[in-house]
Amino acid sequence: MTVNTASTSTSETIDICAPLQRVRAAAPLVHNITNYVVMNNTANALLAVGASPAMVHAVDEVEEFAAISRALVVNIGTLSPPWVEAMRLAVARARTGGIPWVLDPVGVGATGYRRSVGAELAGLRPTVIRGNASEILVLAGAVGSAGRGVDSADETATALEPAQRLARATGAVIAMTGAIDYVTDGHRVVTVSNGHEMMARVTGLGCTATALVGAFLGANDDPFAATVAALATLGVAGELATEQSAGPGTLQVNLLDALYRLDEQTLLRCARVHALA
């Protein structure tokens, strides 16, 4: 498939406001099995956008909790065997209940353990997989990725075709984020060109993107549209927050304010969302 980097349609054809409105109206309960580093910040991002977060990971209760949630977020950032077991149980329960779930394969290329767990989880029919280009390349089985830790050493554009293959192989919508975000279901491709480079100096904003995708999945029926809207919402909020911030410390905090205050007109005016071929 040829990837056309020129825009073939405008954001006017993709509704990015209604999905956010539905999150705020429904306040979906989002079950997170995520990493220690970002728990506070992603819980706050979910609250700021209007969702209701919960962090629950004990194998004794994840199935029961997944069943009452509207979406499940699985993030392998600080994985360990008991948490992976909880992920398996929660995912199985979510699938049985038709509850959407999103996978964040943090640093999946860094170790054999991560590659193994990441591949296993990617095979359990996630609704969405959100990662940077290096992570998506590793999951797609592409060679040549120099992923180290959680940063992305690959350009997102060159990883688009593997991302599309991964989408078709897993059935998941792939959200590959970077300077430009790509969302693909293996056929359609939409780009989101919001955000600011200073966001890369705040830990876990990729994890925040994943959590917000979870919230949007929990309040919207169309995973593709929900994912595009979630990334646009975060990117626009990030731009607004950066304008107010002297550095990454205040940015982390101002981003939560911006998510809380973001209005429809601003989102519509600032979002740069385009459909590719």
Select the residue interacting with its own copies from 5, 9, 18, 61 (CB under 8 A).
Answer: 61
25, 68, 221, 264: residue in contact with its own copies (rule CB under 8 A)? 68
Measured in whole angstroms, the distance separating CA 236 from the mean position of its chain's CA atoms is 15
Closest approach, Cβ 207 to its own copies, in A, equals 11
| Residue 151 interacts with its own copies (CB under 8 A): yes or no | yes
| 152, amino acid identity | S
Separation in Å, CA 34 to CA 75, 164, 201: 5, 25, 20
Beta bridge partners of 173: 128
Give the CA angle between residues 139, 161, 123 to the nearest 5°: 30
Element (H, E) at 246: none
Closest distance between its own copies and the C-beta of residue 92, in Å? 16
Name the nearest CA neighbour of 239 among 262, 217, 216.
Answer: 262
Question: Structure tokens of 58?
Answer: 């004990």
Count of residues of this chain found to bind its own copies when the rule CB under 8 A is applied: 61
Q: Which of 15, 260, 266, 272 binds its own copies (CB under 8 A)?
A: 260
Residue selected from 4, 10, 13, 80 as contacting its own copies according to rule CB under 8 A: 80
* List 112, 144, 197, 265, residue binding its own copies (CB under 8 A): 112
Q: Which of 65, 101, 182, 224 binds its own copies (CB under 8 A)?
A: 65
Give whichever of 114 and 130 is closer to its own copies, judged by the CB atom.
114
C-alpha torsion sign, points 249, 42, 137, 185: negative
Q: How far is CA 265 from the centre of its chain?
A: 23
Q: Applying CB under 8 A, which residues contact its own copies? A: 29, 35-41, 43-44, 47-48, 52-58, 60-61, 64-65, 68, 77-82, 107, 110-114, 148-151, 200-204, 245-250, 252-261
